[in-house]
Amino acid sequence: MSQAKINFELTTRCNLNCRHCLRDKSLKKDLDFKLFEKIINQIKAYSINRIGFTGGEPLVYPHFKEVIEKSAEEGFEISFVTNGIGLEKYASFLSQKEIADKISHICVSLE
């Protein structure tokens, strides 16, 4: 089985200003959710089975729940990088069995 992975930068926005961050802080852009859905519907043909989310801060992306749900429904192994500030808000969502079973890891950056 393929271990191919695709990463999405969901947003350039962030709720912190960490020294180690490489994002372009002048941009305040979000990935168009319709574009995300279109790409998700096409990448299975390329044997991609893992999906990662970065930012900015993925948890400030307005469609965070929807991208995680769609990714889980499509059978992708999910990971994301976060500063952890919004994890409490999403804890019950991320711990739902159908979501939690698809999350391989959550990387929390420390400043």
Reported as a single tens digit per residue, the pLDDT across 20-37 is 887 777 788 999 999 999
CA angle 89, 16, 90 (to 5 degrees): 10
Tokens of residue 55, six digits:
């930012």
Reported as a single tens digit per residue, the pLDDT across 55-110 is 899 999 999 999 999 999 999 999 999 999 999 999 999 999 999 999 999 999 88
Burial 50-68 (b: 16+ CB within 10 A, else e): bbbbbbbbbbbbebbeebb
Closest to 15 in 3D by CA, of 53, 74, 61, 48: 61
